[in-house]
């Protein structure tokens, strides 16, 4: 498990925006009600009570695997979060409304619609909301919505990174710039293994992102499907308590 923390990671939920104010917050470029963020009542109550809430992405549901395996996976991930005493908050755009926390009907809607649902990074959120469409959030899109809701922790599989040959294509995932601009702790298994891990770590350093891996000093940076890559992690953390601190 690899915590990746964006700027301002020391901010705490106690100083986050009150859930009651979230409904009045609109996405930049959005219009009217299509841009307001709707927080599921269970998530809002947990945030107000200072309980643990974990944001989850939804691209894995729409684009990661076929139905019904995608729905089963989404349910299993939410159940795992609950089993550890936290409240899951899967993020997506449904009918033009950005949502933080989905009910069963919304999860099934995304799972059945599959790739007909638009993949949404930060860039796409406002346009999909304005068009009253459906959107499955990537890592960067999920970070935006989770932060608006006052959530501080987001768990996912692998994040995007710098693609091989990026010195020619300039293909760098928006996930990396989001990590540098949005104060959220992202717990993941590193970057996807098909990417250039070394250049991704360099880019994260440029963005001022704190990168740490659970393990002893000198622990390797993970490689998505495998626990270790050829690169050392910039920082090691002995346990989850140290990560939380």
Largest CA distance in the chain: 50
pLDDT for 14: 34
**pLDDT-derived band at 33, boundaries 50, 70, 90:** very low
Q: Report the mean per-residue pLDDT for the chain.
A: 87
Mean pLDDT to the nearest integer, 205-233: 93
Is 57's pLDDT higher than 90?
Answer: yes
pLDDT for 5: 54
Residue 24 Cα distances to 32, 36, 37, 148, 222, angstroms: 10, 6, 8, 11, 39
pTM: predicted TM-score of the whole model, two decimal places: 0.86
SS (H, E, C) 159-218: ECCECCCHHHHCCECHHHHHHHHCCCEEEECCECCCCCHHHHHHHHHHCCCEECEECCCC
Mean pLDDT to the nearest integer, 8-14: 38
Mean pLDDT to the nearest integer, 8-18: 38
**pLDDT-derived band at 245, boundaries 50, 70, 90:** confident
pLDDT for 4: 56
pLDDT for 9: 40
pLDDT for 244: 86
Residue 172 Cα distances to 84, 143, 161, 202, angstroms: 34, 17, 6, 12
Among 134, 148, 133, 119, CA closest to 25: 148
Domains along the chain with CATH numbers? 1-16+152-245 (3.40.1790.10), 21-149 (3.40.1790.10)
What's 34's DSSP letter?
G
- In the numeric block, the tokens 């959120």 are attached to 125
Q: How long is the chain?
A: 245
What's 14's DSSP letter?
G
pLDDT tens track for 195-208: 999 999 999 999 99
**pLDDT-derived band at 18, boundaries 50, 70, 90:** very low
CB count, 10 Å around CB of 197? Answer: 22
Among 42, 144, 47, CA closest to 92: 144
**pLDDT-derived band at 6, boundaries 50, 70, 90:** low
pLDDT tens track for 58-89: 999 999 999 999 999 999 999 999 999 999 99
Q: Any idea which residues carry the catalytic annotation?
A: 57, 192
Is 19's pLDDT higher than 70?
Answer: no
Among 221, 245, 225, CA closest to 235: 221
pLDDT for 151: 97
Mean pLDDT to the nearest integer, 42-50: 97
Is 35's pLDDT higher than 70?
Answer: no
Two structure tokens written together for 40: 């599921």
């Amino acid at each position: 498990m690899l915590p990746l923390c964006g700027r301002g990671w020391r901010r705490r939920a106690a100083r986050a925006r009150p859930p009651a104010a979230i409904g009045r917050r609109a996405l930049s470029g959005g219009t009217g009600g299509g841009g307001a963020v709707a927080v599921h009542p269970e998530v809002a109550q947990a945030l107000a009570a200072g309980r643990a809430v974990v944001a989850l992405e939804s691209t894995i549901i729409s684009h990661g695997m076929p139905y019904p395996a995608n729905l089963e996976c989404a349910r299993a991930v939410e159940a795992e979060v609950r089993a550890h005493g936290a409240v899951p908050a899967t993020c997506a755009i449904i009918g033009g409304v950005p949502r933080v926390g989905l009910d069963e009907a919304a999860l099934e809607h995304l799972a059945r619609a599959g790739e007909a649902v638009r993949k949404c990074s930060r860039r796409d959120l406002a346009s999909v909301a304005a068009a009253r469409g459906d959107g499955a959030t990537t890592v960067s899109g999920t970070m935006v919505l989770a932060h608006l809701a006052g959530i501080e922790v987001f768990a996912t599989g692998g994040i995007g990174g710098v693609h091989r040959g990026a010195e020619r294509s300039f293909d760098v995932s928006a996930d990396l710039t989001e990590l540098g601009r949005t104060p959220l702790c992202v717990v993941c298994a590193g970057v996807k293994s098909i990417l250039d891990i070394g250049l991704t770590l360099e880019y994260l350093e440029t963005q001022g992102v704190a990168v740490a891996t659970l393990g002893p000093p000198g622990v390797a940076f993970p490689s998505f499907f495998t626990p270790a890559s050829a690169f050392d992690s910039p920082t090691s953390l002995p346990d989850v308590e140290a990560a939380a601190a």
